[in-house]
Structure 1
Amino acid sequence: MPSILLIEDEPALGMIVKDSLEVRGFAVRYAADGQEGLELFRQQCPDIVVADVMMPRLDGFSLAEIIRRENPGVPIIFLTARSQPADVVRGFELGGSDYLKKPFSMDELIVRIRARLGAAAATPAPAGVLTLGQYQFDHPKQRLHRQGQEEQLTHREAELLKRLYDQRNQVLERTTVLRELWGDDNFFNGRSLDVFITRLRRYLKDDPQVQIVNVRGIGYKLML
């Protein structure tokens, strides 16, 4: 079920749009202003954002700038009564994917949402960039990104995380990874591996849906 973050400062309109989208099979979170919307975005990591432009606390354009820094790929559809060409151009320059003028029909909004979701699904991630929940793992550059924050990994950390990802939701055998990355599965290398697993857990701690669990006597499992 596609997830939508709807941000609209007119409560009556917001509830109508939310209910209409849910009836059509979307999961919708609703925020009444830009700041609340940003907080929900960081919690939820939705498939698409539908946002009014003129809002209190944080306007739609400013919100889009922040979202684009933290998640370059999520589609953003602006809802607005402002239809001057300069406003439309600015919306697209700030990372907007589409622009819908108020008043609008629900059928048109839904068509545009589905089109944007389809385009996002058809756009491949950059080579070597893997998605781990809210994280983007750039394996070639050994970087882990989440919401504008970046962790630079060591070579061995990156290789260990890549092996966990390749075996995601399955057991990565401790002996195998020790022999491949440490060259030997002796006691001291085993203690070193434990330290690296602890580091990776710390890097991934901000998304509770991503966990590295111990499989006693066998190895580790990356749960996504």
Structure 2
Amino acid sequence: MTDKLKSELEKLKGLSVLYVEDDINVRESLLRFLRRRFDNIHYAKDGKEGLAQYMEHKPDIVITDIQMPMMDGLEMASRIMQDNPEVKIIVTTAFNEEPFLERAGKLGIEHYIKKPVLKDDLVSSLLECVGS
């Protein structure tokens, strides 16, 4: 690992992250990964709970699945962006369907990661969020 990459990863440590995923196995796996990189992690099992967690903790970055019960990830993202249009949102999805991607694009979401989430892709998106 280069010194530059180490420095960039160190920037992530001080940020807070909200991770929203309804699949418990996916959620627990990615949470283990995130906890090694961030000191301040919050999580939720659906969009409704995710929105409540966001309003309580106001994290710097939100990572969310699209398809979830109670409230989908894009509806949650829309409501979060009404509160803070500058918040960085990363969408994870198993879908490659245009309507979902168009809807996300209209919301201003720039970061998409296809499932299964490859950790290198997630790190790249996180670093882009920090850099932008």
TM-score, reference length from structure 2? 0.85
Asked if the contact 1:34/1:63 (under 8 Å) is kept, the reply is yes
Instruction: Look up the SS of the partner of 2:116 in the other structure.
Output: coil
Report what 1:64 is aligned to: 77
Residue in structure 1 matching 2:42, options 4, 29, 41: 29
Cα distance in 2 for residues equivalent to 1:107 and 1:26: 19
Residue in structure 1 matching 2:29, options 13, 16, 25: 16
Report what 1:74 is aligned to: 87
> Could you report, residue by residue, the CA deviation over 1:81-125 in whole angstroms, capped at 9, with x for unpaired residues?
111233212111123131111112112101101211221xxxxxx
Give the counterpart letter for 2:75 in structure 1: S
TM-score, reference length from structure 1? 0.51
CA RMSD of aligned residues (A): 1.2
Report what 1:48 is aligned to: 61
Report what 2:20 is aligned to: 7
Structure 1, unaligned stretches of length 5 or more? Answer: 120-224
Report what 2:6 is aligned to: none
- Which structure features the higher share of strand residues? 1
> Could you report, residue by residue, the CA deviation over 1:119-139 in whole angstroms, capped at 9, with x for unpaired residues?
1xxxxxxxxxxxxxxxxxxxx
Cα distance in 1 for residues equivalent to 2:62 and 2:74: 12
- Which structure features the higher share of helix residues? 2
Cα distance in 1 for residues equivalent to 2:21 and 2:102: 21
Structure 2, unaligned stretches of length 5 or more? Answer: 1-13
Report what 1:111 is aligned to: 124
Give the counterpart letter for 1:4 in structure 2: V
Question: Shift of the alpha carbon at 1:12?
Answer: 1.2
Asked if the contact 2:17/2:38 (under 8 Å) is kept, the reply is no
Q: Which runs of 4+ in 1 moved over 2 A?
A: 24-27
Asked if the contact 2:65/2:93 (under 8 Å) is kept, the reply is yes
Instruction: Look up the SS of the partner of 1:87 in the other structure.
Output: helix
- Does residue 98 (structure 1) correspond to residue 111 (structure 2)? The answer is yes
Question: Shift of the alpha carbon at 1:26?
Answer: 4.4
Cα distance in 2 for residues equivalent to 1:50 and 1:41: 11
Instruction: Look up the SS of the partner of 2:122 in the other structure.
Output: helix
Cα distance in 2 for residues equivalent to 1:2 and 1:100: 20
Which structure: larger Rg? Answer: 1
Give the counterpart letter for 2:57 in structure 1: Q
